[in-house]
């Protein structure tokens, strides 16, 4: 159970309410878990917010944290996934001096190689953007460093769960005035034969 620490992406569907960010944040800070990345945005359902939180922890800890998050009154549902269960992207912006690019052919080649797109072109500097996984955006940052990278910033991760059917159906379920049918994961229940022999 206590496997190695790895990146987990936690997806939380919530009501849009003041203070909820703090309620979720203290669940991590109370356990001294560092949040690697945090994004809040609208979700596929109008009026429902979606948090995407990345932490490096083992499954047991993440599982407990996610249950604590789900326990918050304004949280509808929380999921956690390993990297192979999601599709994710981060966006990075790079500010480079214009003269470096115009003078050095290598820089231009580099930007093309990484699929960078110019989003602002000025006489003195140019801002490029790339999207990708952290390693990809990092690599371009490192490659640009010798050529006077003036500023660099990367967004939080946004992620889509491969197996998810979206939240529309789930929400209908939540709006029913009766207890829900979902079950807590119970590893034992899948292999009851093994347990009943005493």
Partner 1 sequence: MEAKQLTGSQAVLEAFIAEGVDTIFGYPGGAIMPIYDALYDYNDKLKHILVRHEQGGIHAGQGYARTSGKVGVVFATSGPGATNLVTGLADAMIDSTPLVCITGQVFAHLLGTDAFQETDIINITMPVTKWNYQITDATEIPHIIAKAFYLAKSGRPGPVLIDISKNAQLQKFDYEGYTPCNHVRSYRPKPIIRKEYIDAAVALINGAKKPMIAFGQGVILGKAEKEFKKFVEKSGIPAAWTILGLSALPTDHPLNVGMLGMHGNYGPNVLTNECDVLIAIGMRFDDRVTGRLDKYAKQAKIIHLDIDPSEIDKNVKADVGVWGDCKETLPLLTLGIEQKERTEWVNLFKDYAQKEYDQCIKDEIYPKTEEMTMGEVIRIVNEVSKGEAIMVTDVGQHQMVTCRYAQFNQSRSNVTSGGLGTMGFGLPAAIGAKFGALDRTVVAVIGDGGFQMTLQELGTIMQTGVDVKILILNNQFLGMVRQWQQLFHDKRYSFVDIQSPDYIMLAKSYGIDGAKVEHRDQLAAAVKTMLESKGSYLLEVMVGKENNVFPMVPQGCSVSEIRLK
By CB under 8 A, name the binding residues for partner 1: 1, 14-15, 19, 22-23, 26, 30, 63-64, 67-68, 70-71, 73-76, 171, 174-175, 177-184, 186, 188-189, 192, 195-196, 198
Query: In sequence order, what are the residues at sequence separation of 6 or more whose Cβ sits closer than 8 angstroms to the Cβ of residue 124?
Result: 97, 98
If the CB atoms of residues 22 and 34 are measured against partner 1, the closer one turns out to be 22
Say what the alpha-carbon torsion angle 154, 20, 77, 168 is, to the nearest 10 degrees. Answer: -80
If the CB atoms of residues 57 and 100 are measured against partner 1, the closer one turns out to be 57
Smallest gap, in angstroms, from Cβ of residue 187 to partner 1? 9
H/E stretch holding 128: strand 125-132
Smallest gap, in angstroms, from Cβ of residue 68 to partner 1? 5
As given in the structure block, the two tokens for residue 182 are: 């979902």
Smallest gap, in angstroms, from Cβ of residue 178 to partner 1? 8
Say how far apart CA 127 and CA 151 lie, in whole Å: 9
Say how far apart CA 55 and CA 39 lie, in whole Å: 12
If the CB atoms of residues 113 and 182 are measured against partner 1, the closer one turns out to be 182
If the CB atoms of residues 165 and 179 are measured against partner 1, the closer one turns out to be 179
If the CB atoms of residues 5 and 64 are measured against partner 1, the closer one turns out to be 64
Smallest gap, in angstroms, from Cβ of residue 26 to partner 1? 5
CB neighbours of residue 50 within 10 Å? 18
Smallest gap, in angstroms, from Cβ of residue 10 to partner 1? 14
As given in the structure block, the two tokens for residue 189 are: 């229940």
As given in the structure block, the two tokens for residue 49 are: 């917010």
If the CB atoms of residues 61 and 143 are measured against partner 1, the closer one turns out to be 61
Strands 75-82 and 149-154: unpaired
* Bridge partner residues of 11 (DSSP): 52, 79
Smallest gap, in angstroms, from Cβ of residue 80 to partner 1? 14
- Angle between helix 20-30 and 59-71 (nearest 10): 150
């Amino acid at each position: 159970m206590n496997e190695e620490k790895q990146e987990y992406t936690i997806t939380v569907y919530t009501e849009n309410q003041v203070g909820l960010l703090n309620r979720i944040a203290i669940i991590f800070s109370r356990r001294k878990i560092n949040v690697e990345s945090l994004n809040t945005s609208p979700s596929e359902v109008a009026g429902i917010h979606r948090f995407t939180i990345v932490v490096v922890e083992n499954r047991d800890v993440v599982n407990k944290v996610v249950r604590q998050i789900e326990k918050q009154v304004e949280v509808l549902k929380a999921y956690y996934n390993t990297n192979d269960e999601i599709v994710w992207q981060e966006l990075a912006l790079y500010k480079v001096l214009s003269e470096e690019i115009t003078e050095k052919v290598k820089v231009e080649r580099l930007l093309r190689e990484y699929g960078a797109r110019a989003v602002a072109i000025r006489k003195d500097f140019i801002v490029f953007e790339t999207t990708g996984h952290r390693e990809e955006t990092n690599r371009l940052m490192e490659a640009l460093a010798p050529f006077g990278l003036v500023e660099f910033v990367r967004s939080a991760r946004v992620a889509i769960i491969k197996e998810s059917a979206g939240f529309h159906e789930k929400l209908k379920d939540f709006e029913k005035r009766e207890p829900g049918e979902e079950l807590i994961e119970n590893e034992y229940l899948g292999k009851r034969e093994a347990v009943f022999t005493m």
